[in-house]
Amino acid sequence: MLKLPVYLDNNATTPMDPRVLEAMLPYFTTHFGNAASRNHPFGWEAEEAVDLAREQVAKLIGADPKEIIFTSGATEADNLAIKGVFEMYATKGNHIITATTEHKAVLDTCRHIEKLGGEVTYLEVNAEGLINLKELEAAIKPTTILIAIMYANNEIGTIQPVREISAIAKKHGVLFFSDAVQAVGKVPVDVNKDGIDLMAFTAHKMYGPKGVGALYVRRKNPRVKVTAQIDGGGHERAMRSGTLNVPGIVGFGKACELCMQEMESDTKRISRMRDKLETELLKLEEAYVNGSKEHRLPHVTNISFKYVEGEGLMMGFNKNIALSSGSACTSASLEPSYVLKALGLGDDLAHSSLRFGLGRFTDEEQIDYTIEQVSNTVLKLREMSPLWEMWKEGIDLDKIEWAAH
């Protein structure tokens, strides 16, 4: 039985796994203690639950539990990593290297650093969304303190060459921070094998609750320190004060445990469905995959359908399929995605793109329905498009000079 609407926006958030909710429930009611209350059983119980979750979270990424700092989510973790390193290592330097396709939580934090007098280099990416390692190395200077490159991109799913990046960072004595929100729980991430010094990730992208995330901070070779951005009480090894969100942390731990057990089988099933979806949709004329087909997450495909507006396309099946388009709706204008523009896409292709993010609860029937709905809507909109008609007649649209109103 087909379940509508179809949810294919798992890069934005994932539905919570019922097993995660089950683990969390007692900590809202009977086990409601504050994990910092050290004088009675209610506090001890909460502390014990947090300790277990810290172990579950650490295990998923190959870290030591003491290296996990719980936060309100990945945005806070990104801020803590970048601002925290900038303050802590101010005597060493003030230069940070990042990429133009990073998440806004990284880019906006870097802009903030620039206002404080820091220097930031923004690396361009190639047509597949990958940075150039030679350019990365060439950008390093004596004042460089941090390289901030995401593990996998949220819009196109491209996975960066993390181990090569970390080797370059290590060679020059620079810390390497990675926003790994889209990767953790979906592909094997190991902070030691990958050589990552700081890493942000979050529960709600891996079937856990919203409002809880973590920053991994390396303790050995090198021992990394960050200056707290939230003060008061010295929780989380004095890196992040505030009463711990015990139910959320318990859910995060359970979500990580389930990802460890099921990642391999999930990946096989989900990537097979993703490939089927992609293959069928690419049968449409002038349809293109954005990003790398070789180095990418198993559950994502981003496809542009030329001569069709992504927003219009979504309206065609909006009530029944939840997707994200390459036009970011801001209050003032319909801006094409900065990530797609960074790949070198023109406004037309960027505007005509759809991001499909599959997940643990996506089924075959939903994929068949999506193929049918998207294909039909593309064809219908193109029939109404004068540009499509001109293209079919062999007119080179790039050479046309449009009259201004």
Catalytically active residues are 329
Q: Which DSSP symbol is given to 385?
A: -
Tokens 């539905």 correspond to 15
Determine phi and psi for 180, rounding to 5 degrees.
-110, 30
- Longest distance between any two alpha carbons in the chain, whole Å: 80
- Per the CB < 8 A criterion, the answer to whether 288 and 306 are in contact is yes
CB atoms within 10 A of CB 317: 19
Cα–Cα distance for residue pair 14/9, rounded to 1 Å? 8
Question: Measured between alpha carbons, how far is residue 12 from residues 110, 179, 203 in Å?
Answer: 22, 15, 12
Closest to 301 measured CA to CA, from 5, 7, 6, 11: 11
Burial classification of residue 374, based on how many CB atoms lie within 10 Å of its CB (0-12 exposed, 13-18 middle, 19 or more buried): buried
DSSP run (H or E) holding 97? strand 95-99
